[in-house]
Structure 1
Amino acid sequence: MLVEGGKSRSGGLCVYIRDAQCWNARLVYQQCSPLAEFMIIKCRPFYLSREFSSILLVAAYIPPSSTTNRSEALYELHQHISEQQTAHTDAFLILAGDFNHANPKSVFPQLHGHINFPTKGKNILGNVYTPHSGAYKALPLPHMGASDHTTVMLMPAYRPKVKAVRPAKKVVRVWPEGSTEALQDCFATTDWSIFKQAGIYNDITDHQEYTETVTSYTRKCIDDVTVTKPITLRANQKPWLTGDVHRLLRERNAAFRAGNEAGLRTARANLSRGIRVVKREHSRRMADRFTRNHHG
């Protein structure tokens, strides 16, 4: 990589991850050029807030020689990070490294820097950026070995959404099995002409009263065949999480508590399959919504 970067000595990137914290880290992209060196690592620690599916850890180094091509170096970084963010929409992004005089916020305005003290001499050359301003508290530590950069310790300060935002109560309508057929039978046996006759005065049809009467009757029929129940919405709840997924989760948990290994394997497979289906349906609905808004 040093040869590809145009340097004969020094430079290079290295990331260490403790096995006790995370053992599934994998390199998803790396690049080394005279403009910039960076690698993107995807991992999921054992302890991670529910609203995040994984972590995208980006280690970057923009050499001082890229001063004249600073925008090109940041463009390369932005392009490949954006591709990974598109592929992993729920991932938490951490961008760390030595940027010298380049400012990643020029291409990532939504990121927040967490280091506000000099990291080399009187300059802040290294920094750590995340999308959340209060994610970490940075503390300076002595230099490691013969390094001329200050060591930085980041203390987690992020407060999960489930604790920062109160749960919301909502009443939803549930359609029991057979309710759709019952509603269709109700409509099929209804004499709709009586509503029109009730809205006629002096041979003139009052369309507003006619509409309100039919709407009230339709609403009553729906109330007769359905039930309502209160639910709790939490801030970290996934938008694709449906009743079917909750049912599959309960089946998996029940098989685990019962110690049924064969049933647990089946329940886990059904859960994975069910999650893939609802995610696909949610993505299709979102795409249709954007398409309608675009053409509307």
Structure 2
Amino acid sequence: MCCSDLEALFIDCKPFYSLREFCSFILVSVYIPPQANVSLALQKLADQITDTEQKLPDSLWDSLITAWQKLKSAKPVVKTIKRWTNETEWVLQACFKWTDWSVFEAAANDLDEFTETVTSYISFCEDICIPTRTYLTFNNDKPWFTAKLRHLCQAKEDAYRKGDRVLYNQARNTLNKEIRAAKRTYAKRLEDQFASNDPTSVWKGLKAITNYKTPSPSTEISEEDVRQVFRKNKRRKAPGPDGVTPACLKTCADQLAPIFSQIFNRSLELCEVPSCFKRSTIIPVPKKPKITGLNDYRPVALTSVIMKSLEKLVLAYLKDITGPLLDPLQFAYRANRSVDDAVNMGLHFILQHLDRPGTYVRILFVDFSSAFNTIIPTLLQTKLNQLSVPSSICQWITSFLTDRQQLVRMGTLMSSSRTTNTGAPQGCVLSPLLFSLYTNDCTSKDPSVKLLKFADDTTLIGLIQDGEESAYRQEVEQLAVWCSLNNLELNTLKTVEMVIDFRRNPPALPPLSIMDSTVAAVETFKFLGSIISRDLKWDTHIDSIAKKAQQRLYFLRQLKKFNLPQELLKQFYSAVIESVLCTSITVWFGSATKSDTRRLQRTVRTAERIIGAPLPTLQELYTSRVRKRAQKITLDPSHPCHPLFKLLLSDWIAFSLQPNRSSVRLKRKLLCATATFTPAQTNRTKRETNSSVIQPN
């Protein structure tokens, strides 16, 4: 287009990659001469743009209509935080140090009143000694955006409105200079967080940008025990209904340990849990992104931080007593047991059985309805007595689970309080172990049926030979009867079955029924974090891993923009991306196809280009983890996988005891790999250590 008032060039661009809402991009180069009539030129330009849009056929595509969505806006949020400084911590410590705690004990008539007055006094002192600060947070603010930058932005806008070009340029330059300084300060803070090994702070910053110890055999709780457990509290955790914050317990552990060691010991001695420790605030936490009903929420209990500290001490004692008596196929909350061990053990049972002719496997993935909330305290007490738990601890646990006051909080709304006498609240430290002990007597009586448990995740594996399913179906019936006797409700809608059958012409199998409900058959299932398919291939699982790892590469790119050192970027990669790629790697990597492993390795190479430094390959990580896992299993006689390995006479080489004619699928599993390693108690030369390898048997 060319005239006396206007010169314009229109170019229709169709890039290979574009947003779906835009079918094409029109670039316009415009020149308006100084002597032209500007209003007339703009009118001609608008008319020409309208004609161009109508002429282009892409503008009439119905399938690519632009999707308009109203931007969401939110008001600034007012937040109040406590300012913990060295001075305020010293004041609070001095307050507790010079407190005469004997006054509380003398004035109290019972344990409830004693504990209530002590916790109320601690909360009162914390409110008095620790100042608070109120500030506004804006949803669109960058993490490096400060209050000073906000004032400079306002000054720039004021200068623009006044039309003062000199003042505007000064305000703009000052703002740009301060933005660069704020970004450098924020990058330095991120670097310090990495260097201090504080993943919680790092992950919080990233969101803004887009040891096992031997338990004590005694129930006597010392001041040092209380002091240590208080010091392990995390400052940013939410307080319970009593108002005592974890930061207070962590900061004043030395001053509060004496009084709470008395309270804890008296609680265990009287077999009674103080009422204020049994109050809970139930927070509904969504199980999935899209909520369709109340069942899509998980009721998590927010309880007293002091009570959680006491639970940790009791937990160590319970694990020490009940550990040797637990079901060997219960993998939760036990030393040297993991989710990977449970999955590997189940796959080993399956693959070893399928190596024989005329065999197939039926797997029942059991789902309980509100498993933790259905525990009967009196029945649990009976089972704990059978596990040699002292009667005083059994009575204390019964007191812990009964007469619990709880209410529900949804945002700013609060329900009325109710008393419960059934179940173990989700969110309590003891709840998972108590459920494991509650279901400890739920086992399989037939050797052809394996019952694997990981807390409330229960899996029944039927090893079928020549179509004989009577043992498997009988065990399923026994499981349903056991659940009925123990007040556990089977969720027949979520309980599913998978059939693994590698025979050439497998016949149609009769469906499985539980309580007059037919169990649905599935092709894939997420079993303890690993997606298993009926053909025992890992395509779906690897797709999920690759997608998640690719999403987290975005955070790595954002950190790169802050010019962090390579070492810190490598630490972030190891903690956030490599941890995803290596999730249950000992389960699936040995059986994955080369195309799948290459696809995951491309993610590693992308991270290498972003960081600018070499990273360990997945094969190296797999080899290292298999070696470590085989070493730990071989040195642990109580591990259910221990009989599958044999320690050679040299005392530093182990290999799996598998038949020579095993299938390739079986040989690729962890429990069928030959592992050579150097145990911790054996001193070997560097040459011998470096010669350690993992290879198929």
Q: State the TM-score, normalizing by the size of structure 1.
A: 0.36
When you count helix as a share of all residues, which structure comes out higher? 2
When you count strand as a share of all residues, which structure comes out higher? 1
Q: State the TM-score, normalizing by the size of structure 2.
A: 0.18
Higher CA-based Rg? 2
